Structure 1
Amino acid sequence: MGNFDIQKVRADFPILRREVNGKPLIYFDNGATTHKPKQVIDGIVDYYAQMNSNIHRGVHYLSQISTDAFEVTRRKVRAFINAKHEHEIIITKGTTESINIVASCYGRPFIGEDDEIIISAMEHHSNIVPWQMLCDEKGCKLRVIPMNDKGELDIDAYKALFSERTKIVSFTYVSNALGTINPVKEMIEIAHRHHVPVLIDAAQAIQHIAVDVQELDADFFAFSGHKMYGPTGVGVLYGKEELLNKMPPYQGGGDMIRDVTFEKTTYNDLPFKFEAGTPNIEAGICLTQAIDYIQDIGLDAIKAYEDDLLGYATEKLAVIEGIRFIGTAAHKSSVISFVVDGIHPYDIGVILDKQGIAVRTGHHCAQPIMSQYGIPGTVRVSLAMYNTKEEVDTLMVGLERAVAMLK
């Protein structure tokens, strides 16, 4: 784990010092959102106290410094994921909006009746529903990569799904419900052999795994700030310049135009063509602090620490009577989903909460996964770099107590 200092990391997150139901907070719901270090919180306060202004339009000082700070984030993101150009970085509200932009602005012009879209069996609803909406509108068809009982995609079946009608592939890098890390590079290469572009949902990967979009050769790549220790309401869509230039705007409004008359509007250049209206400015600016925070620690160090913690927690929880892990892929990241025989996941979650332990229960916006396993939902323990083995030990005690009460 190198120089990873867990106590120093924990000291940076003020919320970890609070109590819930009279117990120290233990937060294992990081797949839903991560907490924010003081560097990000201070950045948000500083924005409103020192530079609050709209961006890209003003000649006055506050607008200039706000605009400069917002564009620093675009440069930071470009470097963070190693995109080729800054203008390939679109600032969005989050992964969901990023996927919807591609489904709308690539899907509508370039996908027609009887064309096919490939997604996987382990997708979050935000990477299912936009494509279903497109299918309803255009008469195209959704093809689904099947998944085995371990929670691993069937790559041979994936290869067999391609035809001359396949127009785009969209799948998750890391499953939010199972923790499975998909073989992203291999899957992109397979699609590119058929000259089909690929969108990667990286919402659950970007905070755990170092990313190089050029090395992956991803065509589109989406993630959210709030799952990587940054503010809510901001995310990123990366797209290759050639594809983004072909696509029409997502929304009309200020900033996405160059010239407007009642007869004709000329759209702005990339990236602004896709950034209509006033964005969540302070979130966009403070995504810089989140990226800086991650890079100061180092994703390799973070991944090594989290992988060790995942192994420890999996081994500990395995002795719980009646437990069944949902998602046992060989390559996983920071998620343990499980059910306990005869007990509803919600009931476990409520009892753990009484002990100050926050877990997620339910279908995790991945109902097709739950249907495949024949369950209503799971208890999900999702780990972050500020979690500890001591917290896992407390979870173990709390879970044993819950099971004893509910059996």
Structure 2
Amino acid sequence: MVIELDGYPKSENQTWLRLTVLVVFVLIFTSMKTIRFPIPYPAGLFAINYDQGIIKRALVGSILFPGDTPISYATIALVSVVIFLVLLFLLAATSAQILRSHPELFLIVLLYTSSFGVVFLASTTGYFDHILLIFAFLSVLPTGAIFRILSVLLLGGIAIFVHEAAIVMVMPVMYFAMYLTLKSFGLKVSLPIVAIVVAIHAGLTYWVGNYGILSVEEVKMLRETLQARADFELIDLPFQVLSTIPAIESQHTLRTINTIAHVDSIIVVLPVLAPLLAVTFLALKQGAAGSTTIVFATAAALSPIAMRAFGHDVHRWDSFALCTTYLTLSIVLREVLGPNPVRLAWQRITPCLIVLLIVGASTSAYLFLGQDIRGFPFLDARSDIVGLLMGR
């Protein structure tokens, strides 16, 4: 049974559960458009370890292949797929949480779960981005102030050793959730605590990024050592990162990426990003959020876009921002707006949302060499299954 509450449908039974089942199917089908095993670049990052001392991006490899353990591509592929499935589960759980309290947002949830944002995650299986996103999801689960501070501090610190750009990519979402938990104590308490945690992470990021590097000779030695243990070819690109500080990489990136690439990338994600941001800000307004909360929410949602100053894959960062924006929306709905419905003129905007949903679900863009984003119907059972088994 569905009842009307202030003009919005409100579930009185398990409607949200049926909607969640549908969303899970959409997540699975969207992932199948492009899911694949890790390409050489992320696979090479999995092999890097601390043999030459504490260096950036070597934590995962040190845990997965300690000592003289053989470095197996099959192990990397299996771990990568498991990580992606965990991330997919967290996206499904977040969607269920939204639908349980706000079934009126079904089209918005469907807009994201069928979008290029999920396609991007499936196509980057094996990238450390997935681990960072999992940390972001986990850090916002605790609701108590002390537990949330500790989770953000600990998971944020670990994330920096996984990928030194975590402080830009996912940690603003963590800081936003922590700020909301502390906001009831007042700005004089919440802001200094958030500032202290940010300062600790910023210092750690500076140290890892600028001192967790090797000379060209040391990188060559590390690569040769790891290649002797690996059953697949280690390419140059993962190891180039180990001898470059962020400032130099940023200068190189800003010189080589043209304006057209930046504009094109934003156009690709805008049909999904704009509605997600609009609903987020509307929920903030209905929840009477202050200007400080709005600034935190904006940074949490859009911070990955700033990575275009440090990395070449502009589509990658803008697509990544779709996920952080979706997570930010879920946090706002739960901790700012509460159970009150989001008041949208649904009768007027539903046709527009349906058009945006179709555009978002059918969007394709160049991400990486050899990328294959298949349209519906996309599944050639024999070739796809063989390709997955063979690691292609």
* Both structures adopt the same fold (TM-score exceeding 0.5): no
TM-score band w.r.t. shorter chain = under 0.3
Give the TM-score, by structure 2 length: 0.24
Higher strand share: 1
Higher helix share: 2
Give the TM-score, by structure 1 length: 0.23
